[in-house]
Amino acid sequence: MGVAYADEPVALTDGQMDMVSAGGFAFSNALADALGVLVAGTTTQTITQVQVLQVIPTQAGQITVDQAQSWSTSAATAL
């Protein structure tokens, strides 16, 4: 298994496509503040990860064993 990067479209053969699998990672933050009669603030953080754990070859192609995880935290204050 390896890693490949492409900055432009590349045609792959059927044999190369049989070896293609993918994973991903995403991270986001959000912050909201409000001022007025009351002061309020909220922060939220989310992380998501997808990982290919195993590739099992079959006659019809391949089966992948994947793991997906997601974490989320949030905090709020008001005065």
What pLDDT, in 10s, does the model give residues 37-58? 677 888 888 888 888 788 888 8
Q: Is the pLDDT of residue 12 over 60?
A: yes
Segments making up each domain of the chain, as ranges: 14-78
Residue 15 main-chain phi, psi, to 5 deg: -65, -40
Whole-number percent of the chain with pLDDT over 70: 86
pLDDT at 4: 63
Q: Which residue in this structure is represented by tokens 């905090």?
A: 75
Euclidean distance between CA atoms 11 and 35, whole angstroms: 54
State the average pLDDT over residues 24-32.
84
User: Which secondary-structure segment (H or E) carries 18?
Assistant: helix 14-18
State the average pLDDT over residues 52-76.
83
